Amino acid sequence: MLSPPSTNLAAYAVSITNGFLPDEHPLLQLTDDYYLPWESVIGQLPQLLDSNTLRTTVDKLPVLSTSHLQTEPEWRRAYLILSFFTHAYIWEAGGPSDHLPPCISIPMLKVAAHLALPPTATYAALNLWNFAPLDHNVSLSNIDNLRTLNTFTGTADESWFYLVSVAIESHGASLISTMLRAIEACSTSNTSLVLSSLTSFTCTVRELGVILKRMNEGCDPLVFYNKIRPFLAGSKNMAVAGLPNGVFYDEGDGKGEWRMFSGGSNAQSSLIQFFDVVLGVEHASKPGTTSKSGFLKEMRAYMPGPHATFLNSLPTPSPIREFCNASPIAELVEAYNLAVKELAAFRDIHIQIVTRYIIRPARMQQGERGGKGLNLAVASNGLEKGLCGTGGTELLPFLKGSRDETKDAALG
């Protein structure tokens, strides 16, 4: 049996078994009666949005203190609730609101600061802390054994969309220890361990691709595009959608600040960025394009603080890539290249899903409003080149560029 890596993962809130998912499953609700007003609204969020009464309901909420939050799971649950409130309030039907009331802004700013996260809906709120297992004895990588805690639309499609990511995070968790051991093995020239680690990486990422392909089973493209996606949008680069200055976070008594944030994005997955770092995949900017490396590093600010610190602590350039590149053993170079190829293939699957769930519906409904809120297609300057992701980047150029740069990491 392999020994655990020397890195103290717990110090970074990374689980040996669950990876970037919490060891302790997310709370189903805040148990302190003080927070019943929040739980009451989040419990009927889809119905309030469907009846276009979310904002008027939220406006009646008291400004609750965060002083009753004691444990980290409680802080995470509060962040989830306030994240859903934030995006629901902004994107409720009838046009976006560029103003968040104090009952959201004040506690959200404090909760987000505690977790070292921005005060907006992130991948952590929507995915990492938004699930519950149906059977605690079954792996979290089994989507069919999971349910979401909250959604905007109340649809099974939205739940499935989030849970695919949860399953990927769970199944890929083992690679964190595997690749950390591989990094340590490079310093001792333990070729066999590096080789076996790369082989495990390739097999596991291939399995992650199989999970990702299951998106088609439970999430309809038109439901996603018209009903779900509008609520995932951020307030950054959304001038055409009606938020030229972002959103004003009202803190009461004449205080407040205009803020702009990217929306929830898979680029905020620490697991996927971990894969890039350990393999030495570089997403450098190219002439005439937006800096991919800059965007991905910016997305680390949208990860839970300890997770971002963990990624920043990893050695660069990649010891694994350098070790394989310097090795005269052809089998080792081949194993590294196969790992890179599989990661690129995973990104190809993502591109295929984006094409089916966003590009094709955009072609069908360009310039139309769909479902509740303003469809992001309205905030684009065209299709493939202009269509933006919820993270605020041009969608297909970014994804294809990331895929191609992954391929470029292969050793000659």
Q: Which residues are annotated as a binding site for heme b?
A: 350
Name residues whose C-beta falls within 8 Å of residue 261's C-beta, 6 or more positions apart in sequence: 118, 119, 120, 234, 235, 236, 246, 302
Numbered residues of the known binding site: 350
Write b or e for each residue in 43-71: b if 16 or more Cβ atoms lie within 10 A of its Cβ, otherwise e: ebbbebbbeeebbeebeebeebebeebee
First-to-last C-alpha distance (Å) of the chain: 34
3-state helix, strand, coil in the chain (%, to 5): 55, 5, 40
Query: Contact, 290 vs 394, CB < 8 A?
Result: yes
Unique residue bearing structure tokens 């680390």: 300
Name residues whose C-beta falls within 8 Å of residue 68's C-beta, 6 or more positions apart in sequence: 32, 34, 35
Q: How many residues does the chain have?
A: 412
For 85-96, the DSSP string reads: HHHHHHHSSSS-
In this structure, are strands 247-252 and 99-100 parallel, antiparallel, or unpaired?
Answer: parallel
**For residue 317, cis peptide bond before it (omega within 30 degrees of 0):** yes
Cα 243 to Cα 261: distance, rounded to the nearest angstrom: 11
Cα 206 to Cα 212: distance, rounded to the nearest angstrom: 10
Cα 306 to Cα 44: distance, rounded to the nearest angstrom: 32
For 88-126, the DSSP string reads: HHHHSSSS--SEE-HHHHHHHHHHHHHHT--SS--HIII
Which structure tokens are listed for 116?
Answer: 């070292």
Unique residue bearing structure tokens 């039907």: 93
For 150-189, the DSSP string reads: --SS--HHHHHHHHHHHHHHHHHTHHHHHHHHHHHHHHTT
In this structure, are strands 247-252 and 146-148 parallel, antiparallel, or unpaired?
Answer: unpaired
